[in-house]
């Protein structure tokens, strides 16, 4: 088996439209529609799908839980621009900037939470 990439992640959220709007506005991710009206956002070559725990799309994780996700995204903007952008959108930085080791090398990260309290690491590679 030759596994090469991640296609998508699915976040369990309390309000799909609120999440789509937040990820679109805060991270400037394009909104996508698929499978008879489902909505998500495009993130590079991947996508983020959203579902509510009361109506998940099958098959589903054994315990779909709002606010349980923890993932990292990569930004290409200078760190000062990232911090300013988050401030402009009233997104609280809960930790960082911190030196971290990403999948492709050293990076500087800040941590934020989305409206459902999912933890998002925003990394900027140092090189």
Specify the number of domains making up the chain.
Answer: 1
**What's the domain range around 25?**
8-125
State percent of the chain over pLDDT 70.
99
The helix (H) or strand (E) run that includes residue 46 is: strand 46-52
Burial of 70 per CB tally in 10 Å (0-12, 13-18, 19+): exposed
Q: Please report whether residue 3 resides in a domain.
A: no
Under 8 Å CB-to-CB from 18, ≥6 apart: which residues? 115
Q: Please report whether residue 1 resides in a domain.
A: no
Residue 88: pLDDT over 70: yes
Q: Give the Cα separation of 56 and 49 in Å (integer).
A: 11
Residue 56: pLDDT over 70: no
Q: Please report whether residue 112 resides in a domain.
A: yes
Bigger pLDDT: 114 vs 62? 114
State the CATH number of the domain containing residue 40: 3.10.180.10
Burial of 101 per CB tally in 10 Å (0-12, 13-18, 19+): exposed
């Amino acid at each position: 088996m030759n596994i090469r990439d991640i296609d998508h992640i699915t976040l369990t959220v309390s309000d799909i439209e609120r999440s789509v709007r937040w990820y679109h506005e805060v991270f400037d991710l394009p909104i996508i529609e698929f499978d008879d009206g489902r909505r998500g956002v495009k993130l590079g070559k991947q996508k983020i799908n959203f579902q509510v725990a009361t109506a998940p799309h099958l098959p589903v994780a054994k315990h779909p839980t709002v606010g349980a996700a923890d993932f990292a995204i990569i930004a290409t903007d200078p760190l000062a621009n990232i911090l300013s952008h988050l401030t402009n959108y009233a997104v609280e930085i809960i930790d960082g900037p911190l030196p971290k080791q990403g999948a492709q090398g050293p990076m500087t990260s800040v941590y934020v939470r989305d409206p459902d309290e999912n933890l998002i690491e925003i990394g900027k590679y140092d090189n």
